Structure 1
Amino acid sequence: MNNPRTYLDNIYPYVLFAQRYSFAPGQNSGQRICYASTVVLIEEGFGKLHMNNQVYEAKKGVIIYIPPGKWHGWEASRTEPMIHRCAYFDWQHTDRIGFTHQNDYFCYSKSELKEQYYGPQIHANVLIQEYSVVKNINAWLQRFDFFTSSPELLDESYFPASLEIRGYFQLFLHHFIKYMMEPASVMDPRVKKSIEWMNEVSTAGSFDEVDRLIETCADKIGLSCSHFHALFKEQTGFSPKAYWNNNLLLRAKVDLKYSSLTITEIAVKYGFSSIHYFSKMFRKKMGCTPSEYRSRNRIY
């Protein structure tokens, strides 16, 4: 049976910046993605959110979760434009080399998109609504106030204030997740069983055999590969292959940081055909090579 600690221990939310943003009348953000996760609370005014090929009403009390890498766009009312409370964060620390300004976290063109900068998604066992309306907006505004501050306070030179702000943010996130958990989010038992099996089997690696192993997984829960793929993605937001590969690379990341294994041994452990292929896939996902990651983060 999969131990919940295997994913809970990897969740340590890290607030990047938070702000109160007032839209101009009729202001349109255009379609964009944010590399980090986003929580938005509409404090005042009206507008629209374009996301998931839908148009959502934006008005006082609406609270929204936007996962990293999701295209969306805001359109403010021409007469009563919105005021947003926004928090941008990662579920765990993510290296984005060269990011120094808030604008670095946004991309407005698919041709300029760099997927290696995507922050991690919340674990597949946790299903969060992306749109809801809060009942007591003043309580939520107060929660935002505690961690909304100038970006320089998150600098290491302001260490005590930084810890305080992050602590308040994590308390906010506790209330947010509790409120936004899907009310009927009992995961399909077939998907839950497949995730448990993937987590157990992927301990032994098998990156290069992922297609065969996913076929085995589908067979174990009595579904065709196409049905399994559709159901898994509907429930988790990931394809089975993406979930499997990300899981292996995250395990490799832990070994690079904490173990004495060589990079070649880690590549073999997780079923990569060569160290060059391991390095290529790791760089694509993490934005740096295994050796670069180890030199910056090694604890062993």
Structure 2
Amino acid sequence: MSPIPLYVVKSLIVFHDCKFHKLIHAGNDCPGIRIILTSSIDPSVQPHLRYSDYYNYHGAPSDAKRQCNLYSLHFFLQEQGSIKVENTTFPVKSSMLVFIRPGQIHSFHFDKKQQSPSYNFYFDLWPKASNTPQLPAMPRFTFLPVMMEKELLTAIEPCPQVDALPTVHSLNGYPYLSDMIIDMNRTCNQPLESVFKRLLLDSMLLVWMLKWYNVLQNPTIEDSRIGKVIAEMERYPERRYDNRMLSEISGLEKSHLHKLFRQQTGTTPQGYAFNVRMRKAVSMLLESNLSVTLIAEQLGYESIHYFSFKFTKTYGLSPTAFRRRHRG
């Protein structure tokens, strides 16, 4: 067997570092390349990066309401404008990541006089079934009122970990994730041999997603005072944490607390507490037989309707539909 090119070896080293439980192989193009890795993400996930670009959004007609047939990630570099995904509008912040699912209606809203740069990635997470029409190599877009044809959508499989990924997440405080995004984009534009370039890019995307998922599940907290607040939120997700309570736990004044908390986590204390409640809700829906009403009560919601509204807004499915999809 001929020597493996350096960039393939590097991709396997990165794989080894990320620990993913599945058999990764390069198919018939690269016989003999095999590696087994371990992680908590569904082993059926097989990311395939189709396209990446560095684009300046500037209020063009193509930024209007649209759908894409692939999964996509958009990493914004500066604070300007907003993006709307389905019925929710998010102000664009520096180092903000946006995750858009296939077929989701979204639009970008920026000042035509100012450009807003973003690294964009379009990819599959599962291969299409052999008995279904295969997708075009490049991403496809439709612009409302024209709707995307279902057969053009990439494969979408039930997967609690993917379904729980947030639409928006700040990468402030996680420079290695930002650096990996930029490196992926650069690699996508390098003149490498096609077979190994595809293997390398898919490897990089998989590693990045695993690291991102790990950050969401286990955020790194360096300041012990912020760590105390987070530990309290994780232990008592049903509580509503006002500024007085947060100051008592951390020993910090309001303004200093909020500044440190955002630096450490990329979000506000209230936003973090909400994310903890939603993660706990997912766990209770999948791992217990408690009714949705009882889950809402145990998480401190006085109204099941408000709990269902917030859960649906976060995950795109009602609590009942989420449980049915993942438990049958």
- Judge same fold: TM > 0.5, yes or no: yes
Aligned to 2:89: 55
TM-superposed CA distance for 1:41, in Å, is 0.7
For residues 276-295 of structure 1, the aligned pairs below 5 Å read none
CA 59–145 in structure 1, closer or farther in 2 if over 3 Å, else same: same
Q: Does 1:132 align with 2:165?
A: no
- The SS at the match of 2:165 is coil
Matches within 5 A, 1:190-201: 192-196=283-287
Q: Distance in 1 between matches of 2:41 and 2:174?
A: 31
SS in 2 for 1:39: strand
What is the letter of the counterpart of residue 108 of structure 1? F
- CA shift, 1:230, in A, is 3.9
Partner Cα distance (1:128, 1:141) in 2 = 17
Q: Judge conservation of contact 1:45–1:77 (CA < 8 Å) in 2.
A: no
Answer yes or no: is the 8 Å Cα contact 1:42–1:83 preserved in 2.
Answer: yes
Q: Given that residues 72 and 99 in structure 2 are in contact (C-alpha distance below 8 angstroms), is that contact kept between their aligned partners in structure 1?
A: yes
Matched position secondary structure for 1:168 = helix
Quote how far apart the aligned CAs of 1:98 are: 5.0
Quote how far apart the aligned CAs of 1:236 are.
Answer: 4.5
**Which residue of structure 2 lines up, in the alignment, with residue 39 of structure 1?**
73
Answer whether contact 1:153 1:162 (CA < 8 A) is retained: no
What SS does structure 1 have at the residue aligned with 2:64? coil
Q: Is the 8 A contact 1:125 1:187 kept in 2?
A: no
Contact 2:50 2:137 in 1 (8 A): no
| Cα offset, 1:88, TM superposition | 1.7
The residue aligned with 2:142 is 107
- SS of residue matched to 1:46: coil
Gaps of 5+ in 1: 198-216, 249-300
Aligned partner of residue 21 in structure 1, secondary structure: strand
Which of 44, 60, 72 is matched with 1:27 structurally? 60
How far apart in 2 are the matches of 1:90 and 1:78? Answer: 31
Q: CA shift at 1:137, angstroms?
A: 7.9
Equivalences for 1:180-259 in 2 at 5 Å?
180=216, 183=272, 184-187=275-278, 192-196=283-287, 230=308, 233=312, 236-239=315-318, 240=320, 244=324
2:183 to 142, 146, 170: 146
1:164 aligns with 2:200: yes
Cross-structure match for 2:252: none
Shift of the alpha carbon at 1:80? 2.3
Q: Does structure 1 retain, via aligned residues, the 8 Å contact 2:100–2:167?
A: yes
Q: 1:220 to 1:65 in 2, by over 3 A?
A: closer
1:82 maps to what in 2? 116
CA contact (8 A) 2:78 2:93 kept: yes
TM-score (norm 1): 0.56
How far residue 74 of structure 1 moved from its aligned partner, in angstroms, is 0.8
Q: What letter is aligned with 2:59?
A: G
- The answer (yes or no) to whether the contact 2:70–2:122 under 8 Å persists in 1 is yes
In structure 2, C-alpha distance between the alignment counterparts of 1:93 and 1:32, rounded to whole Å: 23
Secondary structure in structure 2 of the residue aligned to 1:8: coil
Q: 1:54 to 1:237 in 2, by over 3 A?
A: closer
Letter in 1 for 2:143: Y
Amino acid at match of 2:276: S
Counterpart selection for 1:9 from 43, 60, 66? 43
Displacement of 1:42: 1.0
Letter matched to residue 165 of structure 2: I
- Alignment match of 1:64 (pick from 54, 78, 98): 98
Q: Structure 1 residues 45, 78: CA separation in 2 closer, same or farther (over 3 Å shift)? A: farther
Amino acid at match of 1:27: A
1:174 aligns with 2:204: no
Contact 1:35 1:119 in 2 (8 A): no
Relative distance call for 1:244 and 1:16 in structure 2 (3 A) is farther
Amino acid corresponding to residue 161 of structure 1 in structure 2: K
Tell whether the 8 Å contact from 2:285 to 2:323 is kept in structure 1 after alignment: no
Offset at 1:71? Answer: 1.0
Determine the C-alpha separation between the residues in 1 that align with 2:280 and 2:216.
21
Q: CA deviation at 1:15?
A: 2.1
- The DSSP-based 3-state class of the residue aligned with 2:180 is helix
How far off is 1:102 after superposition?
2.6
Q: CA deviation at 1:58?
A: 2.1
RMSD: 4.2
Could you tell me how far 1:75 is from its partner in structure 2? Answer: 2.2
